Structure 1
Amino acid sequence: GRRAALEGWLGGAGFIVAVHHWLLPSLHVFLLPLAALVGVLWIPWALLVREFLGGAPDPGRATAALLLVPAGWLLSELARSWQGLGGPWGLLGASQWQVPPALRLASVGGVWLVSLLVVAVNCGLVLLIAVPGARVPAVAGVTGCVVLTGAVWLWLPRPEASGALRVAVVQPGLVADGPDSTEQRFAAGERLTRALVGQRVDLVVWGESSVGGDLAARPDLAGRLAALSAQVGAPLLVNVDARRPAGPVPAAPAPALAASVPKGGIYKSSVLVGPHGPTGDRYDKMRLVPFGEYIPARSLLGWATSVGKAAGEDRRRGAEPVLMNLPGRPGVRIGPLVCFESAFPDMSRRLTRDGAALLVAQSATSSFQRSWAPAQHASLAALRAAEDGRPMVHATLTGISAVYGPSGERIGPALPTSARTAQVYEVPLARGSTYYVRFGDWPVGTCLALLAAYCAAEGARSLGLRKPAAAPEPTTPPARTARG
């Protein structure tokens, strides 16, 4: 057991370092203890692997392995998907974002179902190759996964078409750091947006942190954006990364009302701007990047700012999701997300349930420009689109920007990290609801039930083994007495 636990821990830590290696410039040495901490979550799964796949499992153990080993893996992914541990980045199911049948499965059970079936198929193949006595359950398990995938691919209804939008993504590219870099980036966005005049777009999307001043405090910026909207003939969805003053506190407020008063500080906000200025629709980012936008337990871990590019000041969190009505397109509502919020399946699912017709993620990965991070991030939009049956726009400052249709298929060209351009996409809309939107994370609940049943059975068996044996029956008749 100790060796399995050690190998599981080291495997988990190594996996985290490999998938998140691009964080080294920001976290430096702190990535190693973080990986060691998250790697602990692999230990229970490693013990399950040893229990059911170790040695030469009989058909009964092999059958249990096909159920419990994937379930254990899925719960380890669920645990490390907590925002404080970095969120659901690098999930196994996300590796299948270019596989159409996998995207169809995501519309049924989310990325969780894809992860579950990937592990189940690999368990079946291991048993088939390495354990001759377990070939019957192995073949049955792999065949079951193939049949399920085929049935979903062939018979599950596709998203029902419901018109289209012409959406422009503005990607200004890298801007050298300096005292005027924020203005240079804004000006580059202006130039690229003006090039869209006459192209009949319905919406223009800028990337994360594309505006460096609070529009209420900077009427000059708001005016420039409004003028752009008027020239292009479409609203602009920009992202403001700026300090905002605290909201007014009403006299003698009720506790619930006082809690809703905006606090002063730095926010990252998606803001819709029309030809007359901001429309009033604003979404404040709710889930912040650990260390990049806030320091967890800053009093204990604040030293991280001295060894990497950790946040010197914690950003403020938004209170709730927001849907924005698209001017000029009645009934079309935009569901905005900011940066790594697109990694969380529950956030896009909630926006879809609330009525979003178009999902938009605004991102900036310029700190990781020459790494795997931009491609990893862009791929997540394909999964969210497939899960929710809604198109998704992934707009970044420096690439990779991409657009995906309601089935997770790519629409038009992706914009690489070298591109400085504004690209117009014909984005198909869809109506209806996927099984994932309706039923949520049911694979997670199923796996919890399986593991709970296994733990209960093991507990009952353990208690049965510890129960004291009954006293043996006498083997000789009792002695007769004088009176007997």
Structure 2
Amino acid sequence: MAANVPLTLESDDRSKDLAEAGVRPPRLVRIGTRIRRGLPRTALALLCGVLLALSFPSVGIWPLSLVAVAGLSLLTHGRTARQGAWTGLVLGLVFMLWLLIWIDVIGYDAWALLSVAEALFVALMGAGLAIVSRLRFWPLWTACLWVAQEWARDRVPLGGFPWGRLAFANTSSPFTPLAALGGAPLVSFAVALSGALLAAAVLALRTREGRERSGRLGLACAAGAVVAGVVGYAIPLPTAGTTAGGPAYAQIGVVQGNVPHAGMDFLGRPMQVLDNHVAATFDLMNKVDAGKLPQPQLVIWPENSSDVNPYNTPEAYAAIMQAAGRTGVPMLVGALVDGPDAQHVMNEGIVWDPKTGPGAHYTKQHPVPFGEYVPFRSILMKYITRLQRVARDFYPGDTTGILQVGPARIGDVICFEVAYDGIVHDAVAKGGRVLVVQTNNATYEHTDQPDQQFAMSRLRAIEHGRAVVIAATSGISAVIAPDGSVVQRTQLATQDELDVRVPLRDSLTLADRVGAAPEWALSLIGLGAVGFAVWTRRRRSGGDADSPAERSEATTA
């Protein structure tokens, strides 16, 4: 009989009639039915991806991150792993494509490939959320899986890409103070837990059986979501720190020289960016001479502030010496210098003394794939000719950026390194009394990227109880207090200078002391919950991955 059924997409009623008649519908009919029934959930997943993207800068409506987490929890609750993976993939694709649109400056292919790669982690998490949703206390396991997903994206592939962590959408929310206890992972955990508890409250209140008990459960979950959100207010922010015999403050000047134009070719002619920073330094000192600003004790230039190698370009060396002589204090200069061989360069922050010239330096440890080096160069260069623009690969450093610049022992991190927990943690744990972020965002000047990176720096200030000094070629340069408040900041695409009295700290927050332990613990708990749920289900179903009820459900969604 089945052979006589036409291969058309029939209505759900027709499919039911066939089932009642003992006829198995053709495969095309079954697929069409599943697609139609899954469309509403797919559309809601897409909406949740948009809401999650809007929670990040530059829009920055952080409560939407809770709504997105709650939405994904509802959409995956009670579903099969395959359905959860699809829902997570849809949300992840929309979210990442929106969040990372600024990468289209490099190329639409790079933007699409990175977004897909990042979305795959969210898809895996979606499968995990569906699996643990049948366990008791599932909101807790849901929050742990969010941390596990971010833990994985922070590390693989090619060293990871941690953009889009829930913590980075909550750098000025009630959850933010939790960073001082467990770093960015604890903030992400609390946001995810609050969102999952909101979802649990909705599910409980929708239950028709045992309305009184369900009502109490729903109210309890809602109360738990509120508690997870406001517990941060009970955490004292590190507004006062200790010093170990060194000066308690340093007067720091920050120079933003600007670039000729934004985009991949921001440098313009050789020496132009360097000349801009020399001119801005002279402008800073003219204001000091006029009594408008205090005399700085050190001056910070941004990443790539010298657009030519000052070690082998006499004109560049002389220009930096002239600027340093004008300030009369040590400067931190950003420059690209020759690497260990002809194929490599190094991205460095160089301490420049006004009398003796260049001294100690820090080499960026985490170059950006495809932007600062080309993985699998010998293969990819044959097919993607645009990669020829990255003529030489950046050689990674292997030491932490602890540098003595005048009276301040700084922890230097360069550009995207501020997104990586371990690099920033080491810069503080190994003696940095103030965090310095040298960055060059000129490539992404008219996008959301500078605001997104700026938000990360605010979170780092609270996480480590350190002032953060940002020096950017074309903005955003800023000084952020240890409590995350913005003391001063510049605008994009301008030449500007800052001159701020910055606190120097030696005390460590709890997050500094525990390091990555909370992230590992929460991730392992989440993965362990998935393993336990799979084992329990297999034992109950006699070894089948899905129970008969779950297989039946999979045919209807």
Tell me which interval the TM-score lies in, with the shorter structure as reference length: 0.7 to 0.9
Instruction: Tell me whether 1:126 sits opposite 2:202 in the alignment.
Output: no
Structure-to-structure mapping, 1:83-94, within 5 angstroms? 84=158, 86-94=160-168
Kindly state the Cα deviation for residue 122 of structure 1 after the two structures are TM-superposed. 1.1
Kindly state the Cα deviation for residue 333 of structure 1 after the two structures are TM-superposed. 0.7
CA contact 2:260–2:268 (8 Å) conserved in 1: no
Q: Tell me which residue corresponds to 2:233.
A: 150
Structure-to-structure mapping, 1:386-425, within 5 angstroms? 386-412=462-488, 414-425=489-500
Give the distance between the partners of 1:30 and 1:232, measured in 2 at CA.
42
Q: Tell me which residue corresponds to 1:44.
A: 124
Kindly state the Cα deviation for residue 245 of structure 1 after the two structures are TM-superposed. 5.9
Higher mean C-alpha displacement, 27-36 vs 428-437: 27-36
CA gap of 1:103–1:178, structure 2 versus 1, over 3 A, is closer
- Matched residue SS, 2:255: strand
Counterpart of 1:442 in structure 2: which amino acid?
A
Kindly state the Cα deviation for residue 115 of structure 1 after the two structures are TM-superposed. 0.9
Give the distance between the partners of 1:298 and 1:402, measured in 2 at CA.
37
Higher mean C-alpha displacement, 169-178 vs 317-326: 169-178
Instruction: Tell me whether 1:98 sits opposite 2:181 in the alignment.
Output: no
CA contact 2:147–2:523 (8 Å) conserved in 1: no
Scaled by the length of structure 2, the TM-score of the pair is 0.73
Instruction: Tell me whether 1:24 sits opposite 2:24 in the alignment.
Output: no
Per-residue CA deviation, residues 45-103 of structure 1 (Å, 9 max, x unaligned), is 212333455xxx7xxx4x5222111111111111111262652122111111123x433
Instruction: Tell me whether 1:165 sits opposite 2:266 in the alignment.
Output: no
Instruction: Tell me whether 1:174 sits opposite 2:259 in the alignment.
Output: yes
Counterpart of 1:396 in structure 2: which amino acid?
A
* One of 165, 186, 189 as aligned partner of 1:113: 186
Give the distance between the partners of 2:410 and 2:220, measured in 1 at CA.
47
Give the distance between the partners of 1:151 and 1:87, measured in 2 at CA.
32
Give the distance between the partners of 1:448 and 1:32, measured in 2 at CA.
27
Aligned residues: percent identity? 23
CA contact 1:210–1:239 (8 Å) conserved in 2: yes
Kindly state the Cα deviation for residue 279 of structure 1 after the two structures are TM-superposed. 4.4
Give the distance between the partners of 1:411 and 1:138, measured in 2 at CA.
38
Instruction: Tell me whether 1:312 sits opposite 2:400 in the alignment.
Output: no
CA contact 1:38–1:85 (8 Å) conserved in 2: no
Kindly state the Cα deviation for residue 464 of structure 1 after the two structures are TM-superposed. 3.8
Per-residue CA deviation, residues 195-229 of structure 1 (Å, 9 max, x unaligned), is 22234101111111111333332344333322322
Give the distance between the partners of 1:178 and 1:113, measured in 2 at CA.
38
Q: Tell me which residue corresponds to 1:211.
A: 306
Give the distance between the partners of 2:412 and 2:267, measured in 1 at CA.
29
C-alpha RMSD of matched pairs (Å): 2.6
CA gap of 1:179–1:269, structure 2 versus 1, over 3 A, is closer
Q: Tell me which residue corresponds to 2:325.
A: 230
Give the distance between the partners of 2:270 and 2:230, measured in 1 at CA.
53
Kindly state the Cα deviation for residue 379 of structure 1 after the two structures are TM-superposed. 1.6
Counterpart of 1:227 in structure 2: which amino acid?
Q
Kindly state the Cα deviation for residue 171 of structure 1 after the two structures are TM-superposed. 1.0
Counterpart of 1:49 in structure 2: which amino acid?
L
Give the distance between the partners of 2:272 and 2:259, measured in 1 at CA.
10
Give the distance between the partners of 2:182 and 2:266, measured in 1 at CA.
46
The total of aligned residue pairs comes to 438
Per-residue CA deviation, residues 412-456 of structure 1 (Å, 9 max, x unaligned), is 2x1111321122122222331100100012331222342344245
Give the distance between the partners of 1:3 and 1:457, measured in 2 at CA.
19
* One of 501, 519, 527 as aligned partner of 1:444: 519
Instruction: Tell me whether 1:336 sits opposite 2:336 in the alignment.
Output: no
- Matched residue SS, 1:411: strand
Kindly state the Cα deviation for residue 23 of structure 1 after the two structures are TM-superposed. 0.5
Scaled by the length of structure 1, the TM-score of the pair is 0.83
Which runs of 5 or more structure 1 residues have no equivalent in the other structure? 247-262, 469-484
CA gap of 1:128–1:92, structure 2 versus 1, over 3 A, is same
CA contact 2:260–2:267 (8 Å) conserved in 1: no
Structure-to-structure mapping, 1:442-481, within 5 angstroms? 442-458=517-533, 460-462=535-537, 464-465=539-540
Give the distance between the partners of 1:297 and 1:29, measured in 2 at CA.
17
Give the distance between the partners of 1:426 and 1:184, measured in 2 at CA.
30
Give the distance between the partners of 2:116 and 2:221, measured in 1 at CA.
33
Q: Tell me which residue corresponds to 2:222.
A: 139
Structure-to-structure mapping, 1:191-202, within 5 angstroms? 191-197=279-285, 198=288, 199-202=294-297
CA gap of 1:18–1:147, structure 2 versus 1, over 3 A, is closer
CA contact 2:459–2:484 (8 Å) conserved in 1: yes
Q: Tell me which residue corresponds to 1:186.
A: 274
Structure-to-structure mapping, 1:378-393, within 5 angstroms? 378-393=454-469
Kindly state the Cα deviation for residue 355 of structure 1 after the two structures are TM-superposed. 0.7
CA gap of 1:455–1:130, structure 2 versus 1, over 3 A, is closer
Kindly state the Cα deviation for residue 179 of structure 1 after the two structures are TM-superposed. 8.7
Q: Tell me which residue corresponds to 2:501.
A: 426
* One of 347, 351, 354 as aligned partner of 1:275: 354
CA contact 1:108–1:436 (8 Å) conserved in 2: yes
